[in-house]
Amino acid sequence: MNYWPLLGVAVIIVGFALRFNPVPVVVTAALTSGLLAGFHVPALLALLGKSFVSSRMLLIFVLTLPAIGLLEHAGLREHAQRWMARLQGMTLARLLIGYLLLRQLLAMLGLTGVAGPAQTVRPLLAPMSEAAAEKILPELTDDDRDQLRAVAAATDNVGRFFGEDVFVAVGGVLLIQAFYTQHGIELTPLSIALWALPTAIAAFVIQSVRIWLYQRRLQRRAAYDQDTSAS
């Protein structure tokens, strides 16, 4: 067993820990592991180049930028905020939990590309969350805004991850099935997908409770601010 390629993992850990720019760190790690595994330089370059262009679909989100840039220029975020501020009964927790449910259900139907950080979080969910939070605490700090946007992005991720494996034709389920087939165990995709359901429900409950707790923290701070200004 050749353990030397593990040094590539060490390069990653050290590079991220020292907060170097991740791009050269990742490429250095790839070169380290490849060379230590005995690849020749041309073969390693070819492997790197081929796998890079094979994953071009990961950059497809940039195509959303022109439409979103134009809409933001025309006031999309300002409108989303004003609309949220007017909506009676729409609290921060209801907004985010509603989005979580929708995202999870869509992912369970195999529709993971429908929503996402570029498609829905930046133009819609993040400004709406900020407006909903301003209803609780009118003077949000920059840190609050950063945290709110992060919570919106996290909710999107949790909804996506713990919904998609309930769908039978998604990459994860097919990968599991393919692995077992290679090793002589035949399973139907449905039997695999069904067992993702308990954790999907648990993930929904956990993320919802955390959203609700986050809202309660904001409410407590608002109440505290009111007390101190009243006295």
Which residues, 70 to 129, sit near another protein by CB under 8 A?
70-80, 82-83, 110-115, 117-124, 126
Taking CB under 8 A as the criterion, the residue among 8, 84, 92, 131 binding another protein is: 8
**51 vs 226, beta carbon nearer another protein:** 51
Going by C-beta distance under 8 Å and a sequence separation of 6 or more, which residues neighbour residue 9? 29, 33
Q: Which of 86, 88, 141, 198 binds another protein (CB under 8 A)?
A: 198
Cβ 94 to another protein shortest distance, Å: 18
The site for another protein, by CB under 8 A, has a size of 120
Q: Does the footprint of another protein cover residue 142 (CB under 8 A)?
A: yes
> Should residue 40 be labelled a site residue for another protein when binding is judged by CB under 8 A?
no
DSSP string covering 3-18: -GGGHHHHHHHHHHHT
Of 138 and 228, the one with the shorter C-beta distance to another protein is: 138
Residue 2 CA to residue 22 CA, distance in Å, equals 26
Which segment (84-92, 133-141, 196-204, 223-231) binds another protein by CB under 8 A? 196-204
DSSP 112: G
Rounded to a whole number of angstroms, the minimum distance from the CB of residue 116 to another protein is: 9
CA distance 201 to 92: 21
Contact positions with another protein (CB under 8 A) in 165-194: 165, 171-173, 175-177, 179-180, 183, 185, 187, 191-194
Residues near 117 by beta carbon (within 8 Å), at least 6 away in sequence: 61, 153, 156
Q: Report residue 127 as tokens.
A: 């400004």
- The one-letter amino acid at 183: H
Smaller CB separation from another protein, 49 or 225: 49
Nearest to 213 by CA among 92, 40, 110, 114: 92
Asked if residue 92 lies in contact with residue 132, where contact means CB atoms within 8 angstroms, the answer is: yes
The SS3 of residue 144 is: helix
Closer to another protein by CB, 62 or 230: give it. Answer: 62
| Burial of 116: CB neighbours in 10 Å, binned 0-12, 13-18, 19+ | middle
For 54-75, the DSSP string reads HTGGGGGGGGHHHHHHHHHHTT
Under rule CB under 8 A, residue 53 binds another protein: yes
Report the residue number, 49 or 98, with the smaller CB distance to another protein. 49
In the bound complex, what is the minimum distance in angstroms from residue 118's beta carbon to another protein?
6
Residue 223 as a binder of another protein (CB under 8 A): the answer is no
In the list 50, 88, 139, 228, the residue contacting another protein (rule: CB under 8 A) is: 50
